[in-house]
Every structure is written in C-alpha cells, then in structure tokens.
Structure 1
Amino acid sequence: MQKIRVSSVMFIGSMLLYINVSGQVKDNAQTNSGIEIPIQHSASGIKKIKLQPLSDKIIHVTAIATEKFPDDKSLMAVKLSDDAVKFTTTKSPDQVTLSTSSLKVDVSTKTGLITYRDSSGKVLLAQTKNEGLSLIPKVFSGEPSYQVSQLFDAQENEAYYGLGQHQQGLVNYNGRRVDLVQYNTEIGVPFFVSNKGYGLLWDNYSITRAGDIRDYQPLTALKLFSKEGDEGWLTATYTSKTDPDKVLLKQPISELSINWLTDQHKFPSTVKMQDAVVHYEGAVASELEGLYQLQLKYAGYIKVWFDDKLVADFWRQAWNSGSAILDLELKKNKKTKIKIEWIPDGAESYLGLTCLPPLPKSLMNTFALSSESGNAVNYYFIQGANADQVISGYRTVTGKAVLMPKWAMGFWQSRERYKTQDEILSTVKTFRDKKIPLDNIVLDWSYWKQPEWGSQQFDPERFADPDGMIKSLHKQNVNLMISVWPKFNKGFDIYDKLNEQNFLYKRNIADGRVDWIGKGYSNTFYDAFNPKARTAFWELMNKRLYSKGIDAWWMDATEPDMHSNLPVEIRKDLMNPTYEGSSTTYFNAFPLVNAKGVYEGQRKVNNENRVFILTRSAYAGLQRYAAVAWSGDIASRWEDMKTQIGAGVNFSLSGMPYWTMDIGGFSVEKRYENPNKEDLEEWRELNARWYQFGAFVPLFRVHGQFPFREIYNIAPEGHPAYKSMLYYNKLRYRLMPYIYSIAGNTYHHDYTMMRGLMMDFPQDLKAFNLSDAFLFGPSLLINPVYKYKERNREVYLPSGQGWYDLYTGKYFNGGQTIKADAPYEKMPVYVKEGSIVPTGPELQYTSEKPADPITLFVYTGKNASFSLYEDEGTNYNYEKGAFATIDFNYDENTKTLTVGSRKGSFKGMQDSRTFKIVVITPKSARALDFNQKVNQSFTYSGKAVTIKL
C-alpha cells in the first residue's frame, strides 16, 4: 500500500484532508478533522464519505448523496476538543485506510463499504457486502431528506445491548427488531454496545429501527386454521363477561389490529367491548420453518397458548397499552394450536398481533439501523476493550453524566397523588415518627386549579401556603420534587402569552381534542426545540415554583404524549412543525431539548445547587442535563416487575447511568382496590419483592396509583412485607458510602451503576443473555424474585470467581446455577469474591450525620479494591476539583489491606475518622450484621495505613 498525497486542502473548522484517489503521494495529515473520500460507483446512493477521528478510538462517519457535507450541527453531540488526533492515511487501488494508534478504518472507494479493525488487524465491525440503498430521497413537510440505513455483519456469538429502554424482557438484541420511538414505557436511544469491543452512536432524531429492520407482517403471513380446521382464518367467539355461556357473536377473523384509538371500529359493532370476553382459536402453520417472532399489543387481560402451553398472561390499563414478543418455532407445514383469551378494559381497549418471519439467508448474521429521516448517514464508531470504555467514548461524544445530589440516592416517597398540602405534610410526619428513612417526597400532577394545566401555580384551596409547606419539609430534611408537564390548557393567560409568541404546537387545538380531566380541556404542548420557548418555559417554572424552594423537577409526558393511544403518524402531526424542522426528522429528540432548557435555566439562576430532573423519556445526551429516566406507567403485575430488569440494564448500557422505576408498578388492577384476603396478601408480597429489587437500582423510588404506596399503608408493622420493606430501606442507607462512591464514578470515570452481566464477565457466554439479574456496582449480584409465593429461585453465579451470600457470608463457586433461598423477607444477593464493600451508620436521611464509622466488609479469595468517593453532596464544586477519594486495596497473597493516602479535599471533609474491618473468607462465613464484632478497627487521619488481616 502507498501513502496518500494531499491533492487539495479544505478547511472545515480546522484542517480537513481531502483525498483524491487518483492523486500522487504528497503528505500525511496529522489533524483531528479527518478525510473526505469520493465514492466512484456505489449502489447505495452515497457519493462522499467523511471520516473524522475524535480520538484514537472514536471515528465520526458522515456519508452523503450530494457534493457538500451538511453543517456539523448535532443535538446529541457536544463540542469536542480541538486537540489534534494523530492519524495516517494509505491507499490501495480500490481502498483508502485511515489509521490511528488503535484503529484501522478501510473504505472501499468503489462501494463506500467500511470495515473497522483494531490495531492488530482484527475485524471489529464491517458493513455487509450485499450492498443496498443507504440514502433514499424523501420529502417531509416540504423539506428534502433521506431515509437513512446501514447494514452490518454480525460476528459469531455477537450480542447487542443498549438502544434505550424496552419492556419485552430481552437483554441481548441479536436477531431482534428494536423500535426506537418514544412512547410511555418505551424509550428509544440510538446507541448500542457490542460484546465484540465496540459501540455505535447513530446521530439521528427520527424514528429508527435497529437489528432486524424488516416490517412486521399481518397474521395472514401464516397459514390460519379455524377452530374447526377450515383454512384461512381463526375463529373469534365473543361471550358475555357476566354470563360466560352466552355467545354474543361468532365469526372468522384473519387480522388482529385494534392497536390505537383510530382502530376501535374494527371491533364488531354489534358487541359492546366492555361487556365481552373474546376467544380467538384455531391453528397456524407455514411452509417456511423457523423462529417466528410475534408482536403482541394488548390492553385489558390477555392470555395466549401455543399447543396448550401458556406463553403470555398479562394485564395493562387501556390508556397505555403494553407490548410483548412471543417466540413461536414452527416446523414445515406442521400446525401449532393457538388460543387467545382477551378481556378488554372498558369501552376502548387494544389488541394487536403481527409477526416477523424467520430471517432470509441474505440477512442472517446481520445488524441494521434504519431511520425515517436524515440529511446524511451520520454515526460515531467507538472502540473499547470493554463496555465501560465504549460507554466512556459515548460520553466523550455526548457529554459527561453530571453527578446527582446525594439526597437523590436516598429513598423517595410518591403516589398518584397527594391532593393537598396536609397530605404531603402528614405523610412526612408519619415517616419521621415511624423512623422510616426518607429524603424526597414527590408532588404529582394536578396541584393547580383544574382548568389551568400549565399555570405552574398551586391551587390555593388545597395548598394554602406552599411556601410554608416547603419550608416545613426542609426543616425535616426532606426535599420536594414537583411535577411539571410541557402541556398548557387553552383558556388562561399563560397559554395566550405562549401562543402569541408562536411557542406552542397548534394541531391538537385545531383538531379539537380535549384531555381526560373534569369536563375535558383543550390543550397542547410547547415547542421545546425553540430556544426562546425553552427560556419562557423555564422562566415560568422559576417565577412560580423554583423561587419558592422546589428542589427537583418531574418532567412528565416528555415523549411528547399530547394525547394517549394515537398512532405515531398522528402524533407526528401534533408536533409539526418543530422549530428545527419537520417532526418526522426530529420526533425522538423532544425529551432531550426539554431537559436542556430546564437544566441550563436553573444553572443560570443558581449555579450552586445541583439540578435534578426525572423524565419519562430520554435521548442520547440526556445524561449531561442532570436527568434520570423512569420506566413509565407500567402495571402492578409480576411480569411487569420482571421486565424492569432488562429495561434498566439496557437503559444503563445506553450510556445513561441513572434509571428508576415505579416500585410496585403504576397501574393497578381493580382487584387490589378493594381486595379480598388473598388479593391483599398478593399485593403486599408484590410490593415487598419490588422494594427488595428497587433498593439496588440507581434511584430508590416508590410511586403508583391507589392503593396508597407508603409502606405503612401497604402492610401493618409486624407483617413480613412491612419488615422487609423497612429492612431494605435501612440497608440502602447503610450502603450509602458504596452507592455514592459508584455515583461519583459515573462522572469522574464514566462508570455505570446498574450493570448488565456482560460488562464484568465478558468471557462468560451464559451471562450474555441473562435477563433476570444484574450487578449493582462492582460487587453486588442482584437477583429479584418476580413470582408470587416463590421462596427460592435459580441464580446463575458467573464464572471466574467465587460468590458470597450477602446475608450469611456462605461461599459458592462461580460458573454454576444454584437454587438460592428466597424467603419472603429476603431477595438473593451475592457478593463477588475479591470485593470491598464500605457501609456507614444507620440514617434517617442522607445528610443526617457523617459516614463515620465506616465498616469495610472485605470479601477475600482474590485481590480486591474500592475507591471511596466523597464531596459536598449538593453543589457543583466537584466540577472544580472539590472532592476526595480514599483507595482501599486488599492483597490476597499477603492478607493485607492498604488504605491509601487521601487524595483531594472539600469543605466540611472529616479530617479524622474510624474504619472498622469485617473479613469474610471461603472458610469463615460472616453474616451481614452491623453490630457484630469486627476483625480490626483503626483511626484514619488521611495518611496511608497497611493492616495485616
């Protein structure tokens, strides 16, 4: 290969090397701006490709169908350093290669296909040789655009993670279709991490598909057989809900597509939906054998059987339908019996069933990305030796994950909803009286006068003295988070002011839709893409809420969800046009710019106290705006609890370290509202198990509809549920030195708190697909119990090290599946061999007292290390270097623990403190007992200490 000469030099910000592939050798480029490569005969529609190294491990790729590259404007990416990135370029007859110290990027000058290799030449990622269209011209709202796609080869045993938060119970997306579209409970983030040493950030804001991007087919893609064996349809039988033997209607059906409000006419007009139970029965078959993935959309109660085996048993409230993926393996022309039982939820409910047939050979072992609209193929390839390095690269591109206030790591109490000032104050008083730890209480929607949604003002009849209420909460060391929607009702002054400035979306008003509150009110959302509208939104929040002492923001319905249960095409109409352009082009980015306005607005007003935002939707880059996502309006069901595990793991693997959920689930079946004895006990056990799980995710937060969610309202003192919830609440606070340290690492070292097992055990193939376990920080293996009355569960202990039972200290070898004890009051948690877990004193709130003494639980058998992180807890001085770390290192060979010299300092730092040490070995189990006799205790004054254990 020969060195490429520069035939001409273009300047875009700083020097950009333009490669004329027929030129002679003249120079090597040593800038960070990269190279442009003309493509000769690509069938993909690509005419030019630009490669820009942002570091030795990050390559920004832009491919266009025109001669001129678009402006480097990005909502998700931040301005990058101008420091030069060293690279070289070489050329062979049909290929250009850009090389950094870590990567080699080969570009075919004939086809435009790109291959990424590490410095040794090993292929990390390659575009599929079967070239297809990458840029298809489109027009949206009069703006020229392209449908943008790329297809890549998948390696053997490759696994894909991230892509936001989804509720299908999957962790590894290899061979799956993932829809990146914002929806209540579904968050689309166009970033994935591969277990093969790289990740990819797709810089596009439109609705995107990832993985298997084929269209779902209607049910008629399969051979259908009626209950009686006739080919061509299934048998639908509608019976009375109150009289099961009474048949209301029986008919053939070959389509299940009551997916949205606009589909309600597909239900038989002669039957009232709210009065019916529907059974769909028959069989399916196909000449094409293989795995069929059936997408089920549902509201109400749904059960599905394949060959009499129950494969789905779900419930979801009608105003926010759920979805699931059901795998069906078919043999050639062999019938599989199918039965579906659907009990709709009221007069409007939803049921849809579509399928993805088996992959054709041409698409096997591939992974694709395809977006509705964009002006170029635009993505960042990120290399990393492990998932943490890849996520660090993602944050290099999109911004640091700012550190949340320490109080946010404590317990949050919420419900839908506290209706008065007295309810808020009496709840906090009860927590303090009962000695239940608490740091934050949440005031949900409708604290305003009913017609004035968007006023950001308290209703004086129910909140007579909000300033006094907030001061009272602060005196009790409780923070107040308040719900703020991007929604404004028509008919009062704030709406008129925003409308006059053209800050509001118009369509929902023009269509005449009303919401579900009271008589129903005409409403719409503001255009968060407009910087002046964002400023106006923040100024309203600041004047009417923040100035009163509000501590944090709950940004609800940020998909945006202007009217629930509308198909996405209508949802796009409702936010069209945005300030930036077509809603098709910018649909997914609303939650990002909405959080941006609040974060930047508050920091301008008060650059001392940390911003904190809870948002129902998210997009790449959200972590830089102090925003946490939660998993939306999930149901209070065991299966929903289980799907939160994969949802949280993949959201965390999407580069955003802070995630939470409604502990106990949000939407509640009617059987729990006025329960019989059995249902009451199930409700209590469900909440106890969910609390156990929730104590080990980044934010520990309870929320949901009636019944009330305070632990004393769920179960009386002395009940196993109450005792368990209180135990895990107190344990969370005991673990605060551990938790706040790993939170500090999210900023300082781009760490991830809630960790998929592939992050720490990349060589353990069995860990790749586990969707019911995760690591919390480096040491704690969390195994939620998600089945009613289950008193043990199978737990896989990853290979490569042993594991200790957290509660007893009993040692187990790794690489095995065990049946772990799971009594009512305990969830199986295991500690990785070679761990140091710091714990602090019992607390009622995070700032009650210093973390002194700290007890170090040292789990021996391998070398261990941990870095204790501390700062002032509520301000931004950590960005200026005001923080301290203490490194702990245990050496297994010498049986010594070294406590390193303290590094750094901050205002209020303890100069002297006590460390206690509890040693756990494979042969000497020690229970998790904070009052037990310790192995050693010593006073630490900041200088290094080495202790023989």
Structure 2
Amino acid sequence: MKEDYQMKVSRKLLSVTPEDNYLLVKTDGAQFQVYLLDENIIRIRGTFKDQFDTEESYALVKTAWDDQLDDLFKDERQKVAPLAIKAEDKGKEYLIAGPKYDLHINKEPFEFKITNKNGTVLHEDLAKRSFMQDDHGRSYHYTKMGDHNFFYGFGEKSGELNKFKRRMRMHNTDSLGWNATKSDPLYKMIPFYINLDASLNTATGMFYNNSYDSVFDMDSEHSNYWKRFSYFECDGGDIDLFFIGGPTVKDVVEHYTDLTGRSAMAPLASLGYMGSTMYYTELDTNSDQAILDFVDTCKKNGIPCDGFFLSSGYTSGSDGKRYVFNWNKKRFPDPNNFVEELKQRGVLLAPNIKPGMLLTHPFMKDFEAGNAFVKTPDKKGYEVDQYWGGDAHFIDFTSEDGRNTWNDFMTKALLSKGITSIWNDNNEYEINDGQAQVAADGLGKPIESLKPIMSTMMAKSARKAIHDYNPNVRPYITNRAGFAGIQRYAQTWAGDNRTSWTNVKYNVPTILGMGLSGVANQGCDIGGFDGPAPEPELFVRWVQNGIFQPRFSIHSSNDDNTVTEPWMYPKFMSYIRDAIRLRYRLVPYFYSLLFEASTKGSPIMRPLVYEFQEDPKVLEESFEFMLGSSLLVANVLDKGQTIKSVYLPKGANWVNLSDGHYYDGGQTIQVPVDLHSIPMFLRTGGIIPTAPGLMNIHNQVIDSLNLLIEPSEASSFTLYEDDGKTNDYQSGNYLTTNYQVSSSNDGVVVDVHNAGSYASKVKQFKLEVLCPQTAPAQVSILGKEIEQFLNYDKFVNASQGWFFNGENRRVIVKFERPSEADYQVALNFKVKDLISI
C-alpha cells in the first residue's frame, strides 16, 4: 500500500555532522549524505524519511560505501576510499573543500552550490525550493539555470541533440513506430545529463541514481515567482545525485562511465552487417532455408554479411503466438543443423527472446515451479498483465530463482545448439500495477522501483548463461530496454522506428545522445522497422548513414507485404553494396574505437560538441558527427538533395575525402552530392586504419592493413587487435599499436610502438600519407631507404617500396611487418636539386 505523504521542503539547515567517510546534513525538510567519491564526483543523497533506504544499486560500479548488492556485482564493482571530507563553518554557509570542486551549503535559505577552485559557480540549487517532496510522495530537485545552458544526454530521446526547453519522461515503454522528433518516453531510462555552460565553456554532469519513473524539465516550465530553473522529479525513492565534473564534455562522459561502467567488448564480427527481418520467420514452412538463401544471395551479390538477428517467429506455437524457447519445427525442422549451416557461411545467429510468458505457454508449469515470475502485491500469486499476444507473467530478473530458471531454458533451447549471441526484446516491463512484488535480490521491492533494472539484469543474465556454458566464448548481447549501466552487458538499438525521411535524420541525434549517456555501442533499424518499404532513395541514404552506427542491421516488419533487403531495388543495389563494403573496410577503425569505449567510455559516434566544445557553432549541431576523433561524417539526410551544406568545425582543418580538397575549419561549405555521395572529411592530423578486401569477418583473416594519414598536425592513434572471439583479451592477450605522427618542413615521421602479447595476423602494411604540397624525395623504414617506384604496376607487385600518386597527392608506402616491436617510417621532403652541379 502507498504511504500517506505530507508536503516537505528544505528551507533551513539544521546541522552538519561528520560521519564515517561522509557528512550528514539535516534540514527542516530532509536529510542528506554527502560524499567526495573522488576528485571529480560529489555524491549528495537525500531522503525525506527518518531513515535512509538500504544502499542497493544495480547501476554503480564504483562506490565508497557498503551496498547490499556488492556480492552480486563483485566482478564489476570497485569499492574505493572516499576523499577526506570536512565542513568549515563560514558564517552564512558551510564550505566543503575538494581537490577540484568546493561544495557550499547555505544555511538559510538552504541550498547546495558547487564551484570550481576559482570560485566559478558550476551548480546551484534553487533556494527555498531546492529539495521538495509533494503530498503524493514524489520528490523534486530544483536547479538554477543561466542564460547559456545546453543540455545533452538523457539516454534514448527523440528530437535534436540539445534538450534545452524540453520536458522528458523517464519510463521504459514499447514505442512501436515512434515519432523521431517528439515521441517521449522511449525504451530506455538513463537519468543522466550533461550541462554545458557556453559562457564558461565548462561542462558538468548530473546522474540521478533512481530507477522509479521520473521527469526532467529543462526550462520548459516557467513561473513568474522563481528564477529560471530546471528540475528532476521522481515517483519514489531517494534523490541520489552524483555531480560529475568536467570541464569538457569528453571528461564528463569518461567520469560518468567510471561510475556506471564502460561498454562491453563485443566480438569483432558484431561490427559486420547483421541481416534481419520478421518476414522470413513468419513463413508457413522452411524459414531456415529462406534465411540461408538470404545469406547466399548476399554472397552472390558481393555484399558482406556476418550475422542474422532471428525474429521471434521461430518460437510461434500452433496458435501463432510467441512462446519463448519453443522452436517451431515447421519453420525450423533442425535448429542444430541450421545454426551449423550459418556458421559454415561465416554468419552468427542472434535469436530473439522475450521475458513476458503468455499464460498458454507450454513451459509455464516449469517456470512456475522455478519461482521465476514477478509476484502479485500480496505475494500470493504471479502478476498478470497485457503483453504481445495476450495475458502474461513476467520473469523476475532480480530473483536468483528467476535468472537460474531462465538461463537453464536458454542453455537447453539455444546455447546447446552453438548459439553465442542473444537478442533481448520487448523487455520494457510495462506492468501497470506498480505494487507488484519483485525479489530485489533479497530485499523485496515493488516493481515500480525496478522496472528498468529488469531489462539490464536480463542482459547480465544472458552474459552469465553464455559464460557458464562456454567460459571462453565472448558473448554478444543486444538489448532493447535498459537502465544506466546497460552498456556493461549489451549493445542496444533504438527499437521499432518508423520508415520515413524524418526518422533517418532524427535517429542520428538519438544515437548521439545515447553515446553521451555512456552507451557507445548502439544503432537503429536501417530502412525503418514499422511502416511501408522505404522508397529507393530513402533506403540508399539510410544504409549510407547506417554504416557508421556501431550496430549495423537492416531490419523490417513492413506493412505492405515487402521485405527490406539490400537487393530490393536492383537498379540501386550497387549503392547499397558500395556502402556496406565501406563499412567493412572501416572495421579495424571501429574495433579500435570499441576498445576505446570499453576502456575510457568514449562514444564511437560523437556529436561535434564532444570534439569541438570551444566552437559555439557546433553546440546545436544534431546531424553531422565524428566517427572517432578523425572522421567527420555529413550524410545526406534529406530527400532530393543535390547540394549538401556542411559546417566544418573550428579547431582543425579538413580534407574532403571525395576530392582531396583542403578547407579551413570554422566555415560552412556547399558540397555537390549525388546518390553515391557519402560526404566525409578527414581531420588534419587524422589517422584511419582500414582493411582492404574484407568480405567476412568470421572466416577471413585481416592480414593486410592500410592507414590513411593526414600529417599536418601532430597526432596519434592506437590500433587495437585481439582474436575477436574469445575472452583471452581479459587476461592480457591483445595487442595495441600506437602510431605517432609528427611533421616538419623537412618531412613526416611515423613512430610505431607495439605493446601486448597477441600475435597480430597483419603481415602487410600500406601507409597512405596525404602530401598536398610536395612529394617525398625518399622514404625510409628503420633508417633504411626503401625503393621508389615510378611504375604503378611494378609497385603493386612489389612487397616493399613507395609510390607517389599525383592525382590524389598521396604517397603510398608499402612494407611487410618488421620484426621489431618499435619502428619508424620517415618521409623526407627535402627537394632534390636536379639542375645544379
């Protein structure tokens, strides 16, 4: 039963008391625990009750306090000693001084204020309204706003990247066919945002560790009686606030993922093209053969493919309803052979599974016996609610019984057949009665407090099942829903998007916002899931855009009896094929960026503000983005475009990769485009590794590597390699290769440093160095000059040497892997005097 609540507002400070590693702050309306977690993060935890709730977080991997779930997360969580904390009475306020940030507690009216060491205000509560609880039990935290605030993150949201003036609800929901400009909420719930104050060029972050339904209002609401404000509102639980320092957007993301975890290192093949459609699995018979034919047709048409997301039609019973873990034998008469046939073709299978089990499910008694479900409020039965196909029970993934029963069936039905990839779908847990009970790993709580946690724990559970069945296989999990920290376990995607020009465009800022929210590995259904087949131009543009998303899958459930396939428009297939092959050439770059995401939390697709925060013209940019730090992508996203307007950020100069033309940063240029165009610009100092000729990641060894280098600015790039399949990298079996580029009037030097125990399969290297002014006079490796070729045909057949391509002003240096771990490639630009004697 819900409690009776009274209005409470913190207006006056009553006391500040040192406790073990934290300060206890009491006011007339609430009490707070204040921790200096580290030099970048301040925790302010508030409750309106007499006692704080038990510490129990499913999101945090870095803590400084005992937590009831420490054992559950023992392999992920790091408990640190917090910084020493002391409150100094300054008369009207208490001052808590930290290494980088100072926390000020104003006595009356009560408020928290955070400044940097120069005294610049980075956060300030709205005094007299700072922390409040209403008579419905909802809690609020109000923050003052300035005139130059830009807000990013908030997890998966529609609309443009900057959420200023937006009011957004945090609630997991199944948003079929969602409107990409304004639908809210969507599938995921990540109560975190970045506040960039453009007047200070300083970014900070706010993470509210609360999984109740909540709201962020970023100056959408206005009152004449208060200064401008934003606020966070939650339906229950503590206000558990983590202030995260910058000063750059990049810093905030790194510190936030230090708190909630970095993206999982997925298998290398997950970066390939993943085929999918609901259509094949809804055929009356022989769906398996239809999928094998799809893979064979990809190969016939020269289109790489490394995976297939298997839609839930494979589980359909005789009544046409989905029954998870039940193979439909008319459609898939021999699942073991089907999985093996795909493996022989170099294709992994990721079957769709759903946590809602219809009451007519043939395995229902087994799951009931396993005590696997969410319970009714009185705990006397299992909760029933509406689901796809009818009434259903729901797996309780905060219950060890629930996880074990689920994983047992997953192992028997899927993993035992050689499957190592799982697609978790329809896991938003839209259970209407918030008082339905879940185990909460021994604490017992109402479902309203843990709905998004169910989705995250479903992904954790899948990883455990795969690890238990085959400890050295690297899991590949894809999740539709989740909470903060979902990145530790799964890749995600933006659910059932609508086929439209609006969606191909506005899916970009949705993905960029997820990257800023710690989820680096994500994407959307290319071509659109819901609605009619995409028209030819739209489909081409969507694929050209989708190849830069970490999750690249063409997936559809078209309502006009069509299937979205790469060859659906034969006259346009060459554009699709060329784009997908470009994706495959970029696989070494993507994999290195995924490694960076797993170690630093960096997004793979990055909004321009992430790399060029100092440029005020990028603060509102939603549709151009950086792939890593080197490549700017300005896809054509509007119908019928022949001229693309591209803004090139200040802070670098740029090379148009289509024609080699150099541009100064800080200007907008007009680029002619046709249907083949994918506007890409290399940053000066940019380094991009590519794999020539790669057509299948599973069955083809990457034994040749090209590096595109723009040397006019000093730069570096770290290439990451491992076996791409196992967990050996966790015990150090990987290789990092750092390429350090420097240049002067006399030449370009590329210093190469290899570190690690993994034996790279790359035997042949080709450096393509942009030389817009002067060709080299000589090239040396390890101090020894190598041969120059003037005849390109001879150069192609040589194992070592260099050739200058005058058409694109690039010098190509080709050589076999040196035996030395460290070596240097030097280009000498001293002009030869061919006339003087």
> So what's the TM-score if we normalise by structure 2?
0.83
Superposed CA offset, 1:132-165 (max 9, x none) = 5523465xxxxxxx42211112234221111111
In the alignment, structure 1 residue 753 sits paired with structure 2 residue 615: no
Shift of 1:909: 2.3
Counterparts of 2:642 and 2:508, CA distance in 1: 19
Alpha-carbon shift at residue 610 of structure 1 (Å): 1.5
Please list, as runs of the form range in 1=range in 2, the aligned pairs for 1:840-919 lying within 5 A after superposition.
840-893=691-744, 895-906=747-758, 908-910=759-761, 912-919=763-770
**Cα distance 1:948–1:199, how it changes in 2: closer, same or farther (>3 A)?**
same
Query: What's 2:66 paired with?
Result: none
Whether 1:76 and 2:59 are equivalent positions in the alignment is yes
> Equivalent residue of 1:447, what SS?
helix
| 8 A contact 1:529–1:590 mirrored in 2 | yes
**2-side partners of 1:361 and 1:865: how far apart?**
52
- Whether 1:153 aligns to 2:159 is no
> Which structure 2 segments of 5+ residues have no match?
1-12, 64-77, 176-185, 197-201, 282-286, 776-802, 829-837
Kindly indicate whether residue 502 of structure 2 is the aligned counterpart of residue 630 of structure 1. no
**Contact 2:262 2:518 survives alignment (8 Å):** no
Q: What residue in structure 1 maps to residue 257 of structure 2?
A: 395
Whether contact under 8 Å (1:800, 1:815) holds in the other structure is yes
**TM superposition shift of 1:511:** 10
- Does the aligned pair in 1 maintain the 2:323–2:361 contact within 8 Å? no
Provide the C-alpha distance between the structure 2 equivalents of 1:763 and 1:507, rounded to a whole number of angstroms.
Answer: 53
Please identify, of 59-68 and 684-693, the stretch whose mean Cα deviation from structure 2 is larger.
59-68
Shift of 1:506: 6.6
For 1:428, the equivalent position in structure 2 comes to 295
1:173 corresponds, among 153, 159, 163, to: 163
Aligned counterparts of 1:881 and 1:577: Cα–Cα separation in 2: 43
> Is 1:38–1:109's contact at 8 Å kept on the other side of the alignment?
no
What's the CA shift string for 1:794-833, capped at 9, x where partnerless? 2111112211112222112211122222211112222212
**Are the aligned partners of 1:171 and 1:646 in contact in 2 as well (CA < 8 Å)?**
yes
Q: Whole-Å Cα distance in 2 between the matches of residues 380 and 440 of structure 1?
A: 39
1:715 aligned partner:
569
3-state DSSP of counterpart to 2:530: coil
Contact preservation (8 Å) 1:413, 1:703: yes
Q: Report matched runs for 1:166-245 at 5 Å.
A: 166-167=157-158, 169-185=159-175, 186=186, 187-195=188-196, 196-212=202-218
Of residues 478, 483, 487 in structure 2, which corresponds to 1:619? 483
Q: 1:755 to 1:365 in 2, by over 3 A?
A: farther
**Kept after mapping to 2: 8 A contact 1:791/1:821:** yes
Partner of 2:780: none
Q: How far apart are the structure 2 equivalents of 1:878 and 1:751?
A: 19
SS in 2 for 1:431: helix
1:427-506 equivalences under 5 Å are 427-450=294-317, 451=319, 453-505=322-374
Aligned residue in 2 for 1:321: none
- Give matches, 1:342-353, under 5 Å: none
**Contact 1:412/1:440 (<8 A) preserved:** yes
Does 2:590 align with 1:739? yes
Change (3 A) 1:910 1:702: same
After the TM superposition, which residues 212-291 of structure 1 pair with which residues of structure 2 at under 5 Å, given as runs?
212=218
Residue aligned with 1:915, SS = strand
Instruction: Determine helix, strand or coil for the equivalent of 2:305.
Output: coil
Give CA deviations for 1:812-861 in whole Å, capped at 9, x if unaligned. Answer: 22111222222111122222122111112211112444433322211243
Counterpart of 1:693 in structure 2 is: 545
Equivalent position of 2:132 in the other structure: 134
Alignment counterpart, residue 944 of structure 1, candidates 818, 823, 835: 823
CA deviations 1:209-259 (Å, max 9, x no partner) are 11348xxxxxxxxxxxxxxxxxxxxxxxxxxxxxxxxxxxxxxxxxxxxxx
User: 2:798 — aligned with what?
Assistant: none
Return the offset for 1:467.
0.3
Superposition pairs for residues 261-660 of structure 1, below 5 Å?
Answer: 359-362=222-225, 365-374=228-237, 376-419=238-281, 420-450=287-317, 451=319, 453-505=322-374, 521-561=390-430, 571-573=431-433, 576-580=436-440, 581-625=445-489, 627-660=490-523
> CA offsets per residue over residues 95-137 of structure 1, 9 Å max, x none?
3322222221112344542111223322211112242552346
Deviations 1:766-793 (A, max 9, x none): 1111122111111121222222222222
Give the superposition deviation at 1:522: 3.9
Distance 1:897 1:112, change over 3 A: farther
> Match of 1:38?
25
What SS class does the counterpart of residue 531 from structure 2 fall into?
A: coil
Cα deviation code 1:294-336 (max 9, x no counterpart): xxxxxxxxxxxxxxxxxxxxxxxxxxxxxxxxxxxxxxxxxxx
Contact 1:87 1:101 in 2 (8 A): no
Distance 1:606 1:756 in 2: 38
Counterparts of 1:643 and 1:192 in 2: how far apart (Å)? 19
- SS of the equivalent of 1:197 reads strand
Q: Is the 8 A contact 1:505 1:574 kept in 2?
A: no
Q: SS at the partner of 2:313?
A: coil
CA spacing shift, 1:932–1:610, aligned 2, 3 Å = farther
What's the TM-score, normalizing by structure 1?
Answer: 0.73
> Secondary structure of the equivalent of 1:573?
coil
Alpha-carbon distance between aligned partners in 2 of 1:467 and 1:574, rounded to the nearest angstrom:
41
SS of aligned partner of 1:55:
coil
In structure 1, stretches of 5+ residues that fail to align are 1-18, 24-28, 139-145, 214-355, 562-570, 673-681
Number of equivalenced pairs: 738
Aligned to 2:642: 791
State the superposition RMSD in angstroms.
Answer: 2.9
How far apart are the structure 2 equivalents of 1:738 and 1:747?
Answer: 14
C-alpha contact (below 8 Å) 1:87/1:99 kept by paired residues: no
Greater displacement, 576-585 / 614-623: 576-585
Contact 2:521 2:550 in 1 (8 A): yes
| Alignment check: 8 A CA contact 2:428 2:452 kept | yes
CA separation in 1, counterparts of 2:55 and 2:603? Answer: 29
Distance 1:544 1:697 in 2: 31
Q: 1:363 to 1:549 in 2, by over 3 A?
A: farther
Q: 2:270 is paired with a residue of what secondary structure?
A: helix
| C-alpha contact (below 8 Å) 2:804/2:811 kept by paired residues | no
Q: Does structure 1 retain, via aligned residues, the 8 Å contact 2:711–2:748? A: no
Question: 1:40-79, aligned counterparts within 5 Å?
Answer: 40=27, 42=28, 45-46=29-30, 48-78=31-61
- 2:669 match: 818
Q: d(CA) in 1 for partners of 2:351 and 2:773?
A: 48
Q: Check 1:449–1:857 CA distance in 2 against 1; reply closer, same or farther (3 A cut).
A: closer
Structure 1: which amino acid aligns with 2:232? L
Within 2, Cα distance between the matches of 1:150 and 1:540? 44
Q: Which amino acid in structure 2 is aligned with residue 661 of structure 1? A: C
Instruction: Give the whole-Å Cα distance in 1 for the aligned partners of 2:675 and 2:436.
Output: 51
C-alpha offsets along residues 701-741 of structure 1, whole Å, 9 cap, x if unaligned?
110124212212x211xx2x211111111111111111111
Write the letter of the residue equivalent to 1:62: R
